[in-house]
Amino acid sequence: MKALHILALAIVPLGIIIAAVPENTTRPYKLTADELLIEVTEGRQFMAPDEIAQMLVDKDPSLQLIDVRGADEFEKFSLPGAINIPLENLLSAGFEDVLNQDIKLNVFYSNSSNDANQAWMIARQLGFKNNYVLRGGLNYWAETILKPEKPAEGSPNEELAKYNFRMGASQALGGGTETAAAGTAPMSAAPPVIQKIKKKKTAAGGC
């Protein structure tokens, strides 16, 4: 038998099989359950309200806030520059470009951390990078940034600095103006410096 015939006998049936079966479009899960459990227990997905507030005040272009609540709640109140992706629409084809990218820093938020965490977990399992969760959600945001509690007399300087920053951020971001107007905060104190967490960069794909 000639080589050509042997080749044809081997390769034509394989070609017929691959033409007949449906294409496999499922993405294999990126993380094992163990790996995901480690990330969850360490809380690596969380970003503190102060970090986000600092980025908003700085008008950091890399920040993309994503509101996963319903559209009606989003219209009543949302953080500056946030876009609305209700949790049930998370997997709509139109939003994949937003979630699956490696340029911006996506931060999910909802009223508490729950819905945002679920959105993060789905995105993480799909292998999408640069997705994070606002720790404590909007409730904690309101407590810490919009209506910060004045630390007790004699608190360490860091506490006061944090408070001052929060008051400033609160004014800049349009919340809690009446507390600021009371002018109890020593605004002349040194401007607070929020340490930005350096986000770990993973190797990009490609050739």
Return residues touching other proteins (CB under 8 A).
4, 7-8, 11-12, 14-16, 18-21, 23-24, 26-28, 30, 127, 202-203, 205-207
Phi and psi (nearest 5°) for 182?
A: -60, -25
Beta partners for 131?
A: 106
Choose between 195 and 202: whose C-beta lies nearer to other proteins: 202
5 vs 198, beta carbon nearer other proteins: 5
Q: Closer CB to other proteins, residue 41 or residue 202?
A: 202
| Least distance from other proteins to the Cβ atom of residue 14, Å | 5
Among residues 35 and 158, whose Cβ is nearest to other proteins? 35
Q: Give the CB-side neighbour count of residue 9, counting CA atoms within 13 A.
A: 6
Distance of closest approach, residue 36 Cβ to other proteins, in angstroms: 15
- Determine contact, residues 148/170, Cβ cutoff 8 Å: yes
Q: Shortest Cβ distance from residue 116 to other proteins (Å)?
A: 25
Cβ-based nearer residue to other proteins, 28 or 156: 28
| Shortest Å, Cβ 21 to other proteins | 6
Amino acid type, 62: S
Query: Could you tell me which of 136, 177, 147, 155 has the C-alpha nearest to residue 52?
Result: 136
Q: How far is the CB of 18 from other proteins (least distance, A)?
A: 4
18-52 core/surface letters (b: 16 or more CB in 10 A; e: else): eeeeeeeeeeeeeeeeeeeeeeeeeeebbbebbbb
